Amino acid sequence: MTEIDQASKIREIIEAYPADQRFALAAMQDMQHAFNYIPEEGLSALATYLGCAEAQLYSMATFYKALSLTPKGEHIVKICNGTACHLRGAMNLATELKRNLGIDPGQTTEDGEFSVELVNCLGSCALAPVMVVDGTYHNKLRVEQIPGIIDSYASAAKEVTAND
Ligand code: FES
């Protein structure tokens, strides 16, 4: 997306809402959805539109886990590190992901394809350890399954590109 496209998308998102601070979160969620993060330009344009301090929006963006101020990968890999998953080897999954993708939790691959996050209980403790990729649960996961799962998402991205 070019800078001009991004600026016009930001404007479109913001102007879809009344200039009322009650809609700040909704507009930020839309930006997150459109760009996979909230660009700095988006935050400042929204602050101007709503007539509020940018710092106020910044606080909201850092408070809500679903929002990010840094670009995230095309695919979001969440490793549950809640108690049950931790006890059943969640950190071994993180180590295998690092071996496979070259990144630690909290980081994004250089090609922008994957982000890895360590999260709290995902509500499937009986099926621990759990990893979620783009909303799909991979339960009772074994370390040796990770390369195949990651490959399947990487290949899907390549196929879409090849068919463009
Ligand atoms: S601790 Fe991982 S799903 Fe509950």
Q: What's residue 54's pLDDT?
A: 95
Asked if residue 22 and residue 92 are part of one domain, the reply reads no
Whether residue 133 lies inside any domain: the answer is: yes
Asked if residue 93 and residue 53 are part of one domain, the reply reads no
Cβ of 119 less than 6 Å from ligand 1: no
87-127: pLDDT as tens digits = 999 999 999 999 999 999 989 999 989 999 999 999 999 99
When mean pLDDT is compared across 47-51, 105-109, 126-130, the lowest value belongs to 105-109
Whether residue 68 lies inside any domain: the answer is: no
Asked if residue 120 and residue 93 are part of one domain, the reply reads yes
Cβ of 79 less than 6 Å from ligand 1: no
Cβ of 130 less than 6 Å from ligand 1: yes
Torsion angle of the four alpha carbons 143, 73, 107, 156, in this order, in degrees rounded to the nearest 10: 20
Work out how many domains the chain is built from and give that number: 2
DSSP code of 83? H
Q: Which domain holds residue 10?
A: 3-63
Cβ of 146 less than 6 Å from ligand 1: no
Q: What is the CATH number of the domain that holds 80?
A: 3.40.30.10
Q: What is the mean pLDDT of the chain?
A: 92
Q: What's residue 159's pLDDT?
A: 57
Q: How far is CA 105 from CA 16, 17, 101, in A?
A: 35, 34, 11
Instruction: Please choose from 87, 92, 117, 122 the residue to mutate so as to test ligand 1's pocket, defined by most ligand atoms within 8 A of CB.
Output: 122
